[in-house]
Chains A and B, each alone.
Chain A
């Protein structure tokens, strides 16, 4: 909320939960927008329940929720009560951007859908980001990111050819879709700034992921080829994989994108006799004997410390890396240079890091200041200062269960 931030003065109202909606709003929150999350104690964001167990029922103790929702304010509101719905509408009149990721019927039920709001707020930028989109026969299908990854093709594309289609760790639609929703919202804010006109953005998480796979789709629609998962191999580079290094479960990556890369790697390996085989001098030859090639390289990499090999191969101009664990990420000098992990203190969780976005702005940098809110933490501030409700009305609403 610092002055001079890109979205200083921009007001955002957020409904819904999970990851894909709230992450998109981080792009606004981290650049100075005031974001109010409307939450419910009766039907809490399921991320708030994830840390719960038979022994722990605290809605404010979930690290996943907290780490994704920093820089936001939270109010608790009972939308089963007409007075709760009326307050939600007053918050809509306050905001510039309305973000939600419920299944389509929810917002309609409360009269908070675009058709109901656009007549009185033609300047509103509203974004809806459910899994399947606002229209179509499957629009009300309620899935998590795991289902989104499966539906959109990313599961199919990740795994060993002889095993299950496992997908990448972390439910890709939850991390990929918000980057697209945020682009659409900021584009809409740019137009609104120029023309005053708002709009409703319909972002289907599964469609953003299938759109990212446009090239894969075109290989099917254009050539009738379904490209399948192939471990770490590439059709266009070889070797191309993760190789074991000294120690337990320690890995480096090596990729040779052309024959020059391969010659450099052979040099680094000390030009062993096996590598002199003419077959290996071309991509086609290396692809044809890839099992042998990988086994030979693995024999060599096993003798090295992972980080040492990474530095050595990069110094030789090769595309090489280290398979970093979560622990490694905190020691990574490059991420440290970017200040990627920002320490915050949360009233229940205590000290913890949160992560920055994937880009840095040179002139109006992002600022992460507030930890993820406790449920309803900012009720007083919002009802009193932003909506200007008198104290006795707030007391009545609270007593009668509207503010929970």
Chain B
């Protein structure tokens, strides 16, 4: 089966901020060529490595997120390298980049230059704050943009510092947003015949993670405190993450009337199990979490906490599924990889990687489609693995490629 993006060609010059974007486009069927500097992408040197040794061919991020792409080495800051990149751009539909401003200028990969030379090319920039504006050009790792996009101030406990996620979640928000924005631009090109610039701001993507919180602030001008495992509703704190016997489960009292059937069901389950049901008595039909006082919240929470503490995540999830209760286990990577739901959907693929003599088990796809293949297309490229193939496609033969490699261009 073919992919939805069969025939779409992508040049990916991104680092860890965009590395997932190429994976998404490749899974959708695009031909994604990772353009790395001679010696390999810096992503290969940073972060975790399988087996612990800093081998650029064992980079966890590279193996997981560059899977399914082809890879070449090319230095676009050298005049000859830039010429070759132009020839690749002639054949490409989309170029994705995350360059810092000095590298962008050195390689003349700015949008005005690229669009003048390649009017049909879509160019997607993924940067901490966007390519223009007062913060354009500032440094901004996941920590910084998560702080400046408003999420950190709301995450964590009141008595400690604001928090980020231990994995760089802003990169994935940005990369998926970049994939969508780039495809919107490709769709527009069907009508306009022109490419355009897709300017992704990780900061702006993070603002979206607080789910209109910033816009709702504008209505009442009240900043909410960090509340950790609790959730702030009006003047009350309502628990959302509960300790159980072997970890934590997520179960919320909020959600308004939509929660009522679940509360009735869990009260019934507790009664069945001989645990004293919530002493709190009220017409469930009229239940709304926004009307609760803190005393009522606490009365509701106390027996729930006792019930959860005596049971495992697995027991609680199985029971919740059987009864239509919105409760979920706080899974770690081991538990996710053992999920029966994911196994039934063939979520994981064992991707053979004969070039490295290994096989990697990673998520196979982010979605599935009827009549289209959306699976990971192969292992991540080794440094320069597809040089001969890709340079050959633009008429650069073996001898010329060897000379380019000697000069440090390829």
Q: Beta-carbon contacts of A249-280 to B below 8 Å, as 1s and 0s?
A: 00101010100000000000000000000000
A155-B241, A321-B140, A363-B188 in contact; A67/B216 too (CB < 8 A)? yes
In the complex, which residues of chain B have a beta carbon less than 8 angstroms from the beta carbon of A164? 228-229, 241, 243, 248
Q: Are A7 and B187 in contact (CB under 8 A)?
A: yes
Q: Are B5 and A226 in contact (CB under 8 A)?
A: no
The stretch from A190-198, A382-390, A392-400 touching chain B is A190-198
* A72 interfacial contact with B, CB 8 Å: no
Chain B binding surface SS class = mixed
Q: Are A179 and B369 in contact (CB under 8 A)?
A: no
| Complex Cα–Cα for A231 and B164 (A) | 7
**In the complex, residue of chain A having the shortest beta-carbon distance to the beta carbon of B350:** A221
The stretch from A77-85, A86-94, A232-240, A285-293 touching chain B is A232-240
* B298 interfacial contact with A, CB 8 Å: no
Q: Are A152 and B336 in contact (CB under 8 A)?
A: yes
In the complex, which residues of chain B have a beta carbon less than 8 angstroms from the beta carbon of A5? 188
In the complex, which residues of chain A have a beta carbon less than 8 angstroms from the beta carbon of B151? 168-170
Q: Beta-carbon contacts of B180-218 to A below 8 Å, as 1s and 0s?
A: 110111111011101111111111110111111111111
In the complex, which residues of chain B have a beta carbon less than 8 angstroms from the beta carbon of A226? 332-334
**Smallest CB separation, B199 vs chain A (Å):** 5
* A42 interfacial contact with B, CB 8 Å: no
| Complex Cα–Cα for A7 and B140 (A) | 33
Q: Are A221 and B337 in contact (CB under 8 A)?
A: yes
**Smallest CB separation, B66 vs chain A (Å):** 11
Size band of the B side of the interface?
Answer: 35 or more
Q: Are B147 and A183 in contact (CB under 8 A)?
A: no
A-B contact pairs, 22 of them (CB 8 A): A31-B188, A137-B341, A139-B341, A147-B327, A155-B248, A159-B163, A159-B228, A164-B228, A166-B156, A172-B209, A180-B176, A190-B186, A193-B187, A203-B366, A203-B367, A215-B60, A227-B333, A236-B47, A253-B144, A255-B143, A323-B152, A334-B148
**Smallest CB separation, B156 vs chain A (Å):** 7
The 4 closest A-B pairs by CB, nearest first: A359-B181, A337-B133, A321-B144, A326-B217
| Complex Cα–Cα for A324 and B145 (A) | 10
| Complex Cα–Cα for A331 and B396 (A) | 52
Q: Beta-carbon contacts of A191-230 to B below 8 Å, as 1s and 0s?
A: 1010001011111100110111111111111110011111
* A242 interfacial contact with B, CB 8 Å: yes
A142-B324, A364-B196 in contact; A213/B167 too (CB < 8 A)? yes
A68-B212, A168-B169, A223-B50 in contact; A49/B256 too (CB < 8 A)? yes
